[in-house]
Homo-oligomer: A and B are copies of this chain.
Protein backbone atom coordinates (compact mmCIF):
# COMPACT_ATOMS: atom_id res chain seq x y z
CA UNK A 1 0.00 0.00 0.00
CA UNK A 2 1.16 3.53 -0.80
CA UNK A 3 2.60 5.42 2.11
CA UNK A 4 0.18 8.14 3.24
CA UNK A 5 0.28 11.08 5.63
CA UNK A 6 -0.82 10.47 9.22
CA UNK A 7 -2.55 13.31 11.03
CA UNK A 8 -3.03 14.26 14.64
CA UNK A 9 -5.08 17.26 15.77
CA UNK A 10 -4.09 19.38 18.76
CA UNK A 11 -7.39 20.71 20.00
CA UNK A 12 -7.25 22.39 23.40
CA UNK A 13 -10.73 23.85 23.91
CA UNK A 14 -9.30 27.29 24.60
CA UNK A 15 -7.47 27.28 21.27
CA UNK A 16 -3.78 26.98 20.51
CA UNK A 17 -3.01 30.64 19.86
CA UNK A 18 -2.60 32.81 22.94
CA UNK A 19 -5.41 35.10 21.72
CA UNK A 20 -7.59 32.33 20.25
CA UNK A 21 -10.38 32.82 22.77
CA UNK A 22 -10.74 36.47 21.68
CA UNK A 23 -11.51 35.45 18.09
CA UNK A 24 -15.13 36.22 17.19
CA UNK A 25 -15.69 32.63 16.06
CA UNK A 26 -14.41 31.06 19.29
CA UNK A 27 -16.53 30.35 22.37
CA UNK A 28 -14.85 32.35 25.15
CA UNK A 29 -15.47 29.44 27.56
CA UNK A 30 -14.15 26.77 25.18
CA UNK A 31 -11.46 25.55 27.61
CA UNK A 32 -14.01 24.31 30.15
CA UNK A 33 -16.90 23.60 27.78
CA UNK A 34 -17.39 19.86 27.33
CA UNK A 35 -19.92 20.16 24.50
CA UNK A 36 -17.40 22.24 22.56
CA UNK A 37 -14.77 19.51 22.93
CA UNK A 38 -17.31 17.02 21.65
CA UNK A 39 -17.91 19.20 18.60
CA UNK A 40 -14.15 19.37 17.95
CA UNK A 41 -13.78 15.59 18.24
CA UNK A 42 -16.61 15.03 15.76
CA UNK A 43 -15.14 17.53 13.29
CA UNK A 44 -11.70 15.90 13.52
CA UNK A 45 -13.35 12.51 12.98
CA UNK A 46 -15.18 13.89 9.94
CA UNK A 47 -11.72 14.93 8.69
CA UNK A 48 -10.45 11.35 9.22
CA UNK A 49 -7.71 12.48 11.60
CA UNK A 50 -5.87 9.61 13.25
CA UNK A 51 -6.03 11.15 16.69
CA UNK A 52 -7.19 13.97 18.89
CA UNK A 53 -4.05 15.01 20.79
CA UNK A 54 -3.82 16.98 24.03
CA UNK A 55 -0.74 18.31 25.78
CA UNK A 56 -0.79 18.60 29.55
CA UNK A 57 0.80 20.34 32.48
CA UNK A 58 0.57 19.70 36.21
CA UNK A 59 0.24 23.33 37.22
CA UNK A 60 -1.68 26.38 36.15
CA UNK A 61 -0.18 27.64 32.90
CA UNK A 62 0.53 31.15 34.08
CA UNK A 63 3.11 32.90 31.97
CA UNK A 64 4.78 33.93 35.20
CA UNK A 65 3.29 35.08 38.47
CA UNK A 66 -0.47 35.36 38.47
CA UNK A 67 -0.54 37.75 35.52
CA UNK A 68 -0.68 36.92 31.88
CA UNK A 69 -2.83 33.83 32.16
CA UNK A 70 -5.17 33.25 29.29
CA UNK A 71 -7.79 30.74 28.24
CA UNK A 72 -5.45 27.91 29.28
CA UNK A 73 -5.54 28.88 32.96
CA UNK A 74 -8.00 26.05 33.69
CA UNK A 75 -9.34 23.12 31.71
CA UNK A 76 -9.95 19.39 31.69
CA UNK A 77 -7.51 16.62 32.62
CA UNK A 78 -6.88 14.83 29.27
CA UNK A 79 -7.59 11.21 30.27
CA UNK A 80 -10.96 11.98 31.88
CA UNK A 81 -11.86 14.22 28.94
CA UNK A 82 -10.95 11.56 26.39
CA UNK A 83 -12.78 8.85 28.32
CA UNK A 84 -15.89 11.02 28.05
CA UNK A 85 -15.36 11.59 24.32
CA UNK A 86 -14.57 7.98 23.42
CA UNK A 87 -18.14 6.60 23.47
CA UNK A 88 -19.36 9.65 21.52
CA UNK A 89 -17.03 8.85 18.60
CA UNK A 90 -16.36 5.73 16.53
CA UNK A 91 -13.07 5.90 14.69
CA UNK A 92 -10.89 8.77 15.82
CA UNK A 93 -8.33 7.93 18.49
CA UNK A 94 -7.12 9.89 21.50
CA UNK A 95 -3.57 10.67 22.54
CA UNK A 96 -3.37 11.92 26.11
CA UNK A 97 -0.32 13.33 27.81
CA UNK A 98 0.72 12.05 31.23
CA UNK A 99 3.82 12.58 33.32
CA UNK A 100 6.38 9.93 34.27
CA UNK A 101 7.79 12.23 36.94
CA UNK A 102 4.62 12.84 38.95
CA UNK A 103 2.56 9.70 38.42
CA UNK A 104 3.34 6.13 39.42
CA UNK A 105 3.65 3.49 36.66
CA UNK A 106 0.80 1.39 38.09
CA UNK A 107 -1.61 4.33 37.96
CA UNK A 108 -0.55 5.41 34.47
CA UNK A 109 -0.66 1.86 33.11
CA UNK A 110 -4.07 1.44 34.60
CA UNK A 111 -5.79 4.58 33.42
CA UNK A 112 -4.51 4.22 29.87
CA UNK A 113 -5.39 0.52 29.74
CA UNK A 114 -8.85 1.36 31.02
CA UNK A 115 -9.31 4.10 28.42
CA UNK A 116 -8.01 1.70 25.78
CA UNK A 117 -10.69 -0.84 26.73
CA UNK A 118 -13.44 1.78 26.87
CA UNK A 119 -12.51 3.11 23.42
CA UNK A 120 -11.88 -0.39 22.05
CA UNK A 121 -8.25 0.29 21.13
CA UNK A 122 -8.21 3.97 20.20
CA UNK A 123 -5.65 5.34 22.65
CA UNK A 124 -2.09 6.63 22.78
CA UNK A 125 0.04 7.83 25.69
CA UNK A 126 2.19 10.91 25.12
CA UNK A 127 5.04 10.38 27.58
CA UNK A 128 6.33 13.59 29.17
CA UNK A 129 8.67 14.26 32.07
CA UNK A 130 7.04 17.61 33.06
CA UNK A 131 9.60 20.38 33.07
CA UNK A 132 8.15 23.25 35.07
CA UNK A 133 9.12 24.48 38.51
CA UNK A 134 5.44 25.15 39.16
CA UNK A 135 4.61 21.46 38.73
CA UNK A 136 7.40 20.39 41.08
CA UNK A 137 5.93 22.60 43.78
CA UNK A 138 2.59 20.80 43.44
CA UNK A 139 4.28 17.50 44.26
CA UNK A 140 6.17 18.01 47.52
CA UNK A 141 9.30 19.45 45.90
CA UNK A 142 10.92 22.89 46.07
CA UNK A 143 12.55 22.49 42.67
CA UNK A 144 12.18 20.07 39.81
CA UNK A 145 14.45 17.07 39.41
CA UNK A 146 17.43 17.47 37.04
CA UNK A 147 16.80 16.86 33.36
CA UNK A 148 18.91 13.67 33.28
CA UNK A 149 17.13 12.22 36.32
CA UNK A 150 13.73 12.86 34.77
CA UNK A 151 14.71 11.11 31.55
CA UNK A 152 16.27 8.11 33.30
CA UNK A 153 13.14 7.74 35.39
CA UNK A 154 10.98 8.13 32.28
CA UNK A 155 12.77 5.32 30.50
CA UNK A 156 12.31 2.90 33.36
CA UNK A 157 8.74 4.13 33.88
CA UNK A 158 7.72 3.29 30.30
CA UNK A 159 9.38 -0.10 30.68
CA UNK A 160 7.33 -0.83 33.81
CA UNK A 161 4.11 0.37 32.20
CA UNK A 162 4.65 -1.90 29.19
CA UNK A 163 5.36 -4.86 31.46
CA UNK A 164 2.13 -4.15 33.33
CA UNK A 165 0.20 -3.92 30.06
CA UNK A 166 1.24 -7.53 29.38
CA UNK A 167 -0.19 -8.83 32.66
CA UNK A 168 -2.98 -10.67 30.87
CA UNK A 169 -2.45 -12.67 27.72
CA UNK A 170 -5.06 -12.09 25.06
CA UNK A 171 -6.65 -15.52 25.41
CA UNK A 172 -6.58 -15.54 29.24
CA UNK A 173 -10.35 -15.46 29.71
CA UNK A 174 -12.17 -18.77 29.56
CA UNK A 175 -15.39 -17.64 31.23
CA UNK A 176 -16.92 -21.10 31.27
CA UNK A 177 -20.08 -20.80 33.33
CA UNK A 178 -20.50 -24.56 33.50
CA UNK A 179 -17.12 -25.38 35.09
CA UNK A 180 -16.78 -22.04 36.89
CA UNK A 181 -13.35 -21.44 35.37
CA UNK A 182 -13.14 -17.72 34.67
CA UNK A 183 -9.57 -17.42 33.48
CA UNK A 184 -6.46 -19.44 32.77
CA UNK A 185 -4.15 -18.82 35.74
CA UNK A 186 -1.10 -19.65 33.60
CA UNK A 187 -1.88 -16.63 31.40
CA UNK A 188 -1.77 -13.95 34.09
CA UNK A 189 1.72 -12.64 34.87
CA UNK A 190 3.48 -10.65 37.53
CA UNK A 191 5.67 -7.81 36.25
CA UNK A 192 8.20 -8.46 39.03
CA UNK A 193 10.03 -5.26 38.19
CA UNK A 194 12.89 -4.10 40.41
CA UNK A 195 14.88 -1.22 38.99
CA UNK A 196 16.65 1.95 39.99
CA UNK A 197 13.47 4.01 40.28
CA UNK A 198 10.65 1.54 40.65
CA UNK A 199 9.71 -1.70 42.33
CA UNK A 200 6.42 -2.97 40.95
CA UNK A 201 5.12 -6.50 41.33
CA UNK A 202 1.89 -6.47 39.31
CA UNK A 203 -0.15 -7.86 37.71
CA UNK A 204 -2.11 -4.85 36.46
CA UNK A 205 -5.83 -5.28 37.15
CA UNK A 206 -6.86 -4.30 33.62
CA UNK A 207 -6.65 -6.63 30.63
CA UNK A 208 -5.40 -5.69 27.15
CA UNK A 209 -7.56 -4.04 24.51
CA UNK A 210 -7.83 -5.17 20.88
CA UNK A 211 -4.74 -3.12 19.99
CA UNK A 212 -2.61 -4.77 22.67
CA UNK A 213 -0.97 -1.66 24.10
CA UNK A 214 -1.82 2.01 23.80
CA UNK A 215 0.53 3.63 21.27
CA UNK A 216 3.59 5.25 22.88
CA UNK A 217 4.09 8.86 21.82
CA UNK A 218 7.01 11.11 22.73
CA UNK A 219 8.27 14.59 21.93
CA UNK A 220 11.92 14.65 22.88
CA UNK A 221 14.24 17.07 21.09
CA UNK A 222 17.19 17.11 23.51
CA UNK A 223 19.82 14.38 23.49
CA UNK A 224 18.07 12.59 26.39
CA UNK A 225 14.73 13.12 24.68
CA UNK A 226 15.90 11.70 21.35
CA UNK A 227 17.40 8.68 23.04
CA UNK A 228 14.16 7.99 24.91
CA UNK A 229 12.05 8.53 21.80
CA UNK A 230 14.20 6.28 19.61
CA UNK A 231 14.11 3.56 22.27
CA UNK A 232 10.43 3.61 23.15
CA UNK A 233 8.26 5.90 21.02
CA UNK A 234 6.07 4.77 18.13
CA UNK A 235 4.98 8.30 17.27
CA UNK A 236 7.24 11.31 17.76
CA UNK A 237 5.84 14.79 17.97
CA UNK A 238 8.46 17.39 17.08
CA UNK A 239 8.86 21.11 16.42
CA UNK A 240 10.74 22.46 13.42
CA UNK A 241 10.67 25.70 11.52
CA UNK A 242 12.66 24.55 8.52
CA UNK A 243 12.84 21.55 6.23
CA UNK A 244 16.56 21.02 6.86
CA UNK A 245 16.32 20.79 10.67
CA UNK A 246 13.24 18.58 10.33
CA UNK A 247 15.23 16.29 8.02
CA UNK A 248 18.17 16.19 10.40
CA UNK A 249 15.84 15.15 13.19
CA UNK A 250 13.95 12.63 11.04
CA UNK A 251 17.11 10.89 9.83
CA UNK A 252 18.69 10.94 13.27
CA UNK A 253 15.67 9.35 14.95
CA UNK A 254 15.22 6.70 12.25
CA UNK A 255 18.91 5.80 12.53
CA UNK A 256 18.76 5.64 16.31
CA UNK A 257 15.63 3.47 16.13
CA UNK A 258 17.41 1.07 13.76
CA UNK A 259 20.42 1.02 16.10
CA UNK A 260 18.00 0.00 18.85
CA UNK A 261 16.91 -2.94 16.71
CA UNK A 262 13.62 -1.31 15.80
CA UNK A 263 12.05 -1.04 12.38
CA UNK A 264 12.35 2.63 11.33
CA UNK A 265 8.94 2.63 9.66
CA UNK A 266 7.40 1.79 13.02
CA UNK A 267 8.63 5.07 14.45
CA UNK A 268 6.47 7.78 12.93
CA UNK A 269 7.82 11.34 12.94
CA UNK A 270 5.08 13.95 13.08
CA UNK A 271 6.15 17.60 13.21
CA UNK A 272 3.66 20.15 14.48
CA UNK A 273 2.11 22.51 11.94
CA UNK A 274 0.00 25.56 12.63
CA UNK A 275 -1.99 26.31 9.48
CA UNK A 276 -3.77 29.54 8.57
CA UNK A 277 -5.76 28.39 5.55
CA UNK A 278 -7.74 30.57 3.15
CA UNK A 279 -9.35 30.06 -0.21
CA UNK A 280 -6.56 32.36 -1.39
CA UNK A 281 -3.19 33.29 0.07
CA UNK A 282 -4.49 36.81 0.72
CA UNK A 283 -7.42 35.45 2.69
CA UNK A 284 -5.06 33.30 4.76
CA UNK A 285 -2.83 36.30 5.43
CA UNK A 286 -5.88 38.28 6.59
CA UNK A 287 -6.71 35.50 9.03
CA UNK A 288 -3.17 35.54 10.38
CA UNK A 289 -3.12 39.33 10.78
CA UNK A 290 -6.51 39.38 12.42
CA UNK A 291 -5.54 36.85 15.10
CA UNK A 292 -2.14 38.46 15.63
CA UNK A 293 -3.81 41.81 16.25
CA UNK A 294 -5.66 40.28 19.20
CA UNK A 295 -2.52 39.49 21.24
CA UNK A 296 -2.17 41.62 24.37
CA UNK A 297 1.40 42.69 25.11
CA UNK A 298 1.38 41.11 28.57
CA UNK A 299 0.12 37.82 27.12
CA UNK A 300 2.91 37.87 24.55
CA UNK A 301 5.53 38.44 27.24
CA UNK A 302 4.03 35.77 29.48
CA UNK A 303 4.03 33.35 26.56
CA UNK A 304 7.75 33.81 25.92
CA UNK A 305 8.42 33.46 29.62
CA UNK A 306 6.40 30.25 29.77
CA UNK A 307 8.02 28.77 26.66
CA UNK A 308 11.48 29.34 28.09
CA UNK A 309 10.70 27.64 31.39
CA UNK A 310 9.84 30.74 33.38
CA UNK A 311 13.39 32.09 33.32
CA UNK A 312 13.01 34.94 30.85
CA UNK A 313 12.00 38.07 32.74
CA UNK A 314 11.23 40.63 30.07
CA UNK A 315 9.97 43.34 32.38
CA UNK A 316 11.58 46.64 31.51
CA UNK A 317 12.78 45.56 28.09
CA UNK A 318 11.71 47.39 24.92
CA UNK A 319 9.27 45.11 23.09
CA UNK A 320 10.50 46.49 19.83
CA UNK A 321 14.11 45.67 20.71
CA UNK A 322 16.00 42.35 20.72
CA UNK A 323 15.58 39.39 23.08
CA UNK A 324 17.92 39.68 26.12
CA UNK A 325 20.22 36.74 26.96
CA UNK A 326 19.18 34.20 29.61
CA UNK A 327 20.97 31.29 31.28
CA UNK A 328 19.96 27.72 30.38
CA UNK A 329 17.95 25.84 33.02
CA UNK A 330 17.06 22.28 33.99
CA UNK A 331 13.67 22.86 32.41
CA UNK A 332 12.60 22.55 28.79
CA UNK A 333 16.09 22.78 27.32
CA UNK A 334 15.23 22.07 23.72
CA UNK A 335 12.29 24.47 23.65
CA UNK A 336 14.44 27.31 25.04
CA UNK A 337 17.04 26.72 22.33
CA UNK A 338 14.40 26.65 19.62
CA UNK A 339 12.75 29.91 20.68
CA UNK A 340 16.09 31.70 20.77
CA UNK A 341 16.99 30.24 17.39
CA UNK A 342 13.77 31.59 15.86
CA UNK A 343 14.56 35.05 17.22
CA UNK A 344 18.15 34.95 15.97
CA UNK A 345 17.47 33.55 12.51
CA UNK A 346 14.67 36.00 11.78
CA UNK A 347 16.27 38.91 13.57
CA UNK A 348 12.99 39.27 15.46
CA UNK A 349 12.21 41.91 18.06
CA UNK A 350 10.54 40.67 21.24
CA UNK A 351 7.15 41.67 19.82
CA UNK A 352 7.74 39.96 16.47
CA UNK A 353 8.92 36.86 18.28
CA UNK A 354 5.84 36.49 20.46
CA UNK A 355 3.60 37.22 17.49
CA UNK A 356 5.27 34.44 15.55
CA UNK A 357 5.20 31.84 18.33
CA UNK A 358 1.74 32.85 19.60
CA UNK A 359 -0.04 30.22 17.57
CA UNK A 360 2.44 27.43 17.16
CA UNK A 361 4.78 27.84 20.14
CA UNK A 362 7.80 26.98 18.03
CA UNK A 363 6.06 24.69 15.57
CA UNK A 364 5.91 25.35 11.85
CA UNK A 365 3.42 28.03 10.85
CA UNK A 366 2.02 27.93 7.31
CA UNK A 367 -0.08 30.77 5.95
CA UNK A 368 -1.61 30.07 2.57
CA UNK A 369 -4.25 28.56 0.33
CA UNK A 370 -5.20 24.89 0.64
CA UNK A 371 -2.89 24.11 -2.26
CA UNK A 372 0.01 25.99 -0.69
CA UNK A 373 -0.49 24.23 2.65
CA UNK A 374 -0.73 20.88 0.89
CA UNK A 375 2.44 21.71 -1.08
CA UNK A 376 4.37 22.32 2.11
CA UNK A 377 3.09 19.15 3.79
CA UNK A 378 3.83 17.12 0.70
CA UNK A 379 7.37 18.50 0.46
CA UNK A 380 8.14 17.51 4.04
CA UNK A 381 6.38 14.15 3.70
CA UNK A 382 8.22 13.19 0.53
CA UNK A 383 11.66 14.37 1.61
CA UNK A 384 12.43 12.53 4.83
CA UNK A 385 11.17 15.24 7.14
CA UNK A 386 7.81 13.79 8.21
CA UNK A 387 5.60 10.68 8.22
CA UNK A 388 2.67 12.85 9.12
CA UNK A 389 1.82 16.00 11.02
CA UNK A 390 0.24 17.18 14.19
CA UNK A 391 -2.06 19.96 13.13
CA UNK A 392 -2.40 22.82 15.61
CA UNK A 393 -5.34 24.94 14.41
CA UNK A 394 -4.55 28.41 15.77
CA UNK A 395 -8.11 29.12 16.92
CA UNK A 396 -11.20 26.94 17.22
CA UNK A 397 -13.44 25.77 15.75
CA UNK A 398 -12.98 27.66 12.47
CA UNK A 399 -9.31 26.93 11.78
CA UNK A 400 -10.03 23.21 12.27
CA UNK A 401 -13.04 23.45 9.97
CA UNK A 402 -10.85 25.22 7.38
CA UNK A 403 -8.30 22.42 7.47
CA UNK A 404 -10.94 19.68 7.26
CA UNK A 405 -12.95 21.36 4.53
CA UNK A 406 -10.12 22.78 2.39
CA UNK A 407 -6.80 20.97 3.02
CA UNK A 408 -7.98 17.38 3.63
CA UNK A 409 -9.78 17.16 0.22
CA UNK A 410 -6.66 18.57 -1.47
CA UNK A 411 -4.46 15.94 0.22
CA UNK A 412 -6.95 13.25 -0.79
CA UNK A 413 -6.95 14.42 -4.41
CA UNK A 414 -3.18 14.01 -4.40
CA UNK A 415 -3.48 10.48 -2.97
CA UNK A 416 -1.61 11.61 0.12
CA UNK A 417 -4.37 11.01 2.66
CA UNK A 418 -6.97 8.34 3.36
CA UNK A 419 -10.58 8.55 2.14
CA UNK A 420 -11.75 6.23 4.93
CA UNK A 421 -10.22 4.88 8.12
CA UNK A 422 -8.13 1.79 7.33
CA UNK A 423 -8.92 0.07 10.62
CA UNK A 424 -10.69 0.44 13.90
CA UNK A 425 -7.77 0.89 16.32
CA UNK A 426 -5.11 3.59 16.50
CA UNK A 427 -2.42 1.03 15.66
CA UNK A 428 -4.31 -0.16 12.59
CA UNK A 429 -4.82 3.37 11.31
CA UNK A 430 -1.20 4.35 11.92
CA UNK A 431 0.07 1.10 10.40
CA UNK A 432 1.88 0.17 13.61
CA UNK A 433 2.47 -3.46 14.56
CA UNK A 434 0.41 -5.31 17.14
CA UNK A 435 2.57 -5.82 20.27
CA UNK A 436 2.48 -9.54 20.91
CA UNK A 437 2.32 -10.19 24.64
CA UNK A 438 5.87 -10.82 25.95
CA UNK A 439 4.66 -13.87 27.82
CA UNK A 440 3.00 -15.44 24.79
CA UNK A 441 6.28 -16.80 23.40
CA UNK A 442 4.89 -19.90 21.77
CA UNK A 443 2.15 -17.85 20.21
CA UNK A 444 4.69 -15.34 18.89
CA UNK A 445 6.75 -18.06 17.25
CA UNK A 446 3.68 -19.35 15.47
CA UNK A 447 2.81 -15.85 14.24
CA UNK A 448 6.33 -15.19 13.00
CA UNK A 449 6.27 -18.41 11.00
CA UNK A 450 3.04 -17.59 9.22
List residues of A whose CB falls within 8 A of some B CB: 19, 21-22, 24, 28-29, 32, 34, 38, 57-61, 66-67, 69-71, 73-77, 79-81, 83-84, 86-88, 102-104, 106-107, 110-111, 113-115, 117-118, 120, 134, 137-142, 167-168, 173, 175, 177, 180, 182-183, 185, 188, 198-207, 294, 296, 299
- Measured CA separation A201–B60 after assembly (Å): 11
Cβ contacts under 8 Å, A185 to chain B: 66-67, 69
Task: Give the CA-CA distance A188 to B92 in the complex, in Å.
Answer: 35
A173 to B185, CA, bound (A): 54
Q: Which residue from B24, B139, B203 sits with its C-beta under 8 Å from A60?
A: B203
17 chain-A/chain-B pairs, Cβ below 8 angstroms: A21-B177, A22-B177, A34-B117, A57-B205, A60-B167, A61-B205, A69-B183, A79-B80, A81-B114, A84-B86, A87-B88, A102-B104, A104-B140, A106-B139, A138-B201, A140-B198, A180-B294
Beyond contacts A69-B185, A77-B206: 8 other A-B pairs, Cβ-Cβ < 8 A, are A66-B188, A74-B205, A79-B80, A79-B83, A80-B83, A84-B87, A140-B199, A180-B299
A140 to B193, CA, bound (A): 10
Residue among A66, A134, A294 with max Cβ neighbours from chain B (10 Å): A66
- The answer on a CB contact under 8 Å between A73 and B34 is no
Q: A205-B57, A205-B60 are in contact. Are A111 and B77 (CB under 8 A)?
A: yes
Q: How far is the CB of A239 from chain B (nearest CB, A)?
A: 23
B87–A32 touching, CB < 8 Å: no
A117:B32 contact, CB within 8 angstroms? yes
| Chain B residues with CB below 8 A from A110, complex form | 58, 77
Q: Which residue from B70, B76, B111, B206 sits with its C-beta under 8 Å from A75? A: B206
In Å, the complex CA distance between A207 and B61 comes to 13
Closest 7 CB pairs of A and B: A83-B83, A28-B175, A77-B114, A137-B201, A74-B207, A80-B83, A80-B114
Question: A58 CA to B113 CA in the complex, in Å?
Answer: 14
> Would you call A180 and B296 a contact (CB within 8 A)?
yes
Q: Chain B residues with Cβ under 8 A from A86's Cβ? A: 84
A84 CB contacts on chain B under 8 angstroms? 83-84, 86-87, 118
Option from B19, B29, B80, B87 in Cβ contact (under 8 Å) with A180: B19
Indicate if the CB atoms of A21 and B188 lie closer than 8 Å: no
Contact B203 A118 (CB under 8 A): no
Contact A60 B188 (CB under 8 A): yes
Measured CB to CB, the closest approach of chain B to A99, in angstroms, equals 9
Q: Enumerate chain B residues within 8 angstroms of A21, measured Cβ to Cβ.
A: 175, 177, 182
Query: How close is A97's CB to chain B, nearest CB, in angstroms?
Result: 13
Q: Taking CB as reference atom, which chain B residue is nearest A120?
A: B34
Given contacts A69-B183, A206-B75, contact A111 B200 (CB under 8 A): no
State the CA gap A58–B24 with chains docked (Å): 47
